[in-house]
Amino acid sequence: MNIDNIKMVKPNNKDVLTTINKDFTNIVNGETKLNTGLASLSVNLVNSRVFTPECIKLVKGTEKVFLMKHFNDFAKIFVRDVLEDNFKTFDKIKKVALKKAIKIAIALISANSLDKFTNDKPINAKGQIAVNSSKFSGDMKKKFDSGLEGGVKALSVKDCTTYASDVLGMKNTGGSILKAQIEKVMATITNEKNGFGNDFVELPSDCYFSYVPLRNKLQSIIDFLEIEKDDKKIYAHK
């Protein structure tokens, strides 16, 4: 479905948006104190209740598992309807953080696994999120509850991302499709024995008009990743 036809209902409680915007500010500023960073944003997205079962179902569509494009769509809708901002001009660090937080939030919502620690808070002093281990799959039990102790487990942002991939059916054993394709292309154009090495004279002529658009796209990616070298700000609580 076209995401233009999918709407999120903005929370009536203004404090919800104030808290989320505070998370964004802290992420951009790279602050590391409690209640800042990606962990806080993820939890606050869950508690905002804007990711309703209907919204999640509509965005996922007919796909059997969640794909990265789904989180991009969720982010676009959230920025448009909840933050009432323009996604195209939305701060890039905030945009990356939002997509990562949404993945975690959707998993916690789907599994109904967000919990609280003994102090009645969902995030501890280390920036770890309280997750109910009774919702773990066999693989996640082995990874995060090998002693089968049960109860609430403190998962870092990195751990939550792994957990989210499991919950959402995004298991990946050999890297992304894009990574595999890039490695294949690199092997073809750089390998002296099985590829072209530096003998560019032998490159296929039918690729001639593909090189410039490929270069432009790669340059855009490189420029973006250079901006995002401050990714450590996003993972302040991992």
Give the position of tokens 């009774």: 134
Residues 187, 149: Cα–Cα separation, whole Å: 47
Is the sign of the CA dihedral 8, 10, 12, 13 positive or negative? Answer: positive
Residue among 64, 72, 70 nearest 88 (CA) = 72
Report whether 191 contacts 199 (CB < 8 A).
Answer: no
153 pairs with which residues across the strands?
A: 131
pTM, entire model? 0.75
Segment 73-128, tens digit of pLDDT: 999 999 999 999 999 999 988 999 999 999 999 999 999 999 999 999 999 988 89
Q: pLDDT band for 35, please (50, 70, 90 cuts).
A: very low
